Chain A
Amino acid sequence: DTAVSQTPKYLVTQMGNDKSIKCEQNLGHDTMYWYKQDSKKFLKIMFSYNNKELIINETVPNRFSPKSPDKAHLNLHINSLELGDSAVYFCASSHKSVWILHFGPGTRLTVT
């Protein structure tokens, strides 16, 4: 009964490939997020999304796109992967009236 789950946990792929990371939350939250943690362990917001609004961090390349089939899922699609995309990607969720974030376990992406 994991609250926020991500798959896969590890992803190794070659430059130029297209890949997806899935995220699901069973908390009934209305907003979901993607964060990137780089090799220096520094976290940055990539996207936040509820069923009304997608907010994109302007520093995120347009090769990255979130896709939400329903309120419980926010998947991250990455096209034409580059070496610099190697990082740990965290999904999180929250409810609009409670600002506590619930994080997924992270997906370690390695681009070779």
Chain B
Amino acid sequence: KNEVEQSPQNLTAQEGEFITINCSYSVGISALHWLQQHPGGGIVSLFMLSSGKKKHGRLIATINIQEKHSSLHITASHPRDSAVYICAVLRLGGGSQGNLIFGKGTKLSVKP
């Protein structure tokens, strides 16, 4: 079992819907990242969280350290949000900040 699990694996939504992607992890962490991989392959860092909640435009990321769980929400979804969303954690004592453990990603498709 992977140390970082995401659900769902695939998600299809209609434009305008509220979307939630979940990430659970089984190790102690110092930080959690949400990444977006576009259909063309490029990867963009969306959020880095160590506690609480962050918001950027229509994207909201939350983390509950006690429950070892994070969620990524997209409000008023749009076809351009279609991408793979990847959760990654930096293990406590994991050394370099780039030494991340990745989830397998959630493929989101937003239909017009």
Size of the A side of the interface (Cβ < 8 Å), in residues, is: 26
Ranked 5 nearest A-B pairs via Cβ: A48-B96, A33-B98, A103-B43, A43-B102, A48-B98
Other-chain contact of A101, B33, B84, B105 (Cβ < 8 Å): B33
Q: Which A residues lie at the B interface, using CB under 8 A?
A: 31, 33, 40-45, 48, 50, 53, 55, 57, 88, 90, 92, 94, 96, 99-103, 105-106, 108
Cβ of B102 and Cβ of A101 under 8 Å apart? no
Cβ of B45 and Cβ of A31 under 8 Å apart? no
Nearest-neighbour CB distance to chain B for A19, whole angstroms, equals 19
* Bound-state Cα–Cα, A94 to B90, Å: 14
Q: Which B residues lie at the A interface, using CB under 8 A?
A: 31, 33, 35, 37, 41-45, 48, 84, 86, 88, 90, 95-100, 102, 104-105
Cβ of B41 and Cβ of A55 under 8 Å apart? no
Residues of B with C-beta under 8 A to A57:
99
Residues of A with C-beta under 8 A to B31:
99
Cβ of A100 and Cβ of B45 under 8 Å apart? yes
Other-chain contact of B98, A41, A42, A92, A108 (Cβ < 8 Å): A92
Cβ of B98 and Cβ of A31 under 8 Å apart? yes
Cβ of B90 and Cβ of A43 under 8 Å apart? no
Other-chain contact of A43, B88, B95, B97 (Cβ < 8 Å): B88
Residues of B with C-beta under 8 A to A40:
104
* Bound-state Cα–Cα, A41 to B35, Å: 13
Nearest-neighbour CB distance to chain A for B35, whole angstroms, equals 8
